[in-house]
Amino acid sequence: MDKIENKHIYLLGFMGCGKSTLGRKLANILDMPFVDTDILVEVKVGMTVSTIFEMLGEAKFRELELEVLAELASDGKIAKVVALGGGTPTLENVWPLLQNSGTTIYLQRTAEQLYDHVRHTDHRPVLKRAERKDLLQHVQNLLHARTPYYARANHTFICDDDWGIDETIERLLKLIEENHENN
């Protein structure tokens, strides 16, 4: 197991798994800054993620994602809690950056749970590629294709919708503390 102290904590997983919501809370409790790579990209180019996909294309968005991540990874002075985009772990060259600068935690949920979390949102261009009626199938296919990348994380944290946010945070903190004690 690798060390969490003085390193970024990267939260990764599929869209709707709770990276930003949990990350913000976790950062608050751990007294660490929180950043979301989607927001860093948006600030960098002055456009929303949807507009970047529309105007500049997905490939450009992926390039920008990698750029902000490389900047984060090389700035190790202040350890942060970082929520990655759902597609970030699938990018070539991203894993050495993550592994050298922090600990990665995969927030795992089933396709059905994820579908439930994203079905009423409309700000994610990758999900707009499917008709509403085919959305669950689209989530299943994409999750299946991405799981081998997500599984590279140092830790897999299986989220249970029955826990609610406070219990989920408690369990995540326990995972982080246990890992910290083991170092």
Q: Report 104-143 residues binding ligand S3P (CB under 6 A).
A: 124-126
**How far apart, in whole angstroms, are the C-alpha atoms of residue 171 and residue 176?**
9
Amino acid 24 reads R
Q: How far is the CB of 87 from ligand S3P (least distance, A)?
A: 3
Half-sphere exposure of residue 17: CA atoms within 13 angstroms, side-chain side: 26
Pick the closer one to ligand S3P by CB: 35 or 179.
Answer: 35
Q: Which is nearer to ligand S3P, 89 or 102 (CB)?
A: 89
Q: Which of residues 40-59 bind ligand S3P (CB under 6 A)?
A: 49
List the one residue from 87, 101, 104, 105 that touches ligand S3P (CB under 6 A): 87
In contact, 104 and 13? CB cutoff 8 Å: no
Residue from 18, 23, 85, 89 binding ligand S3P (CB under 6 A): 85
Helices and strands per DSSP (H, E), number in the chain: 8, 5
- As a dihedral over the C-alpha atoms of residue 104, residue 93, residue 144, residue 162, rounded to 10 degrees, the angle is 20
Shorter beta-carbon distance to ligand S3P: residue 109 or 155: 109
Q: Is there binding between residue 23 and ligand S3P (CB under 6 A)?
A: no
**Helix (H) / strand (E) containing 103:** strand 102-108
Q: Name the site residues for ligand S3P (rule: CB under 6 A).
A: 15, 19, 38, 49, 85-87, 124-126
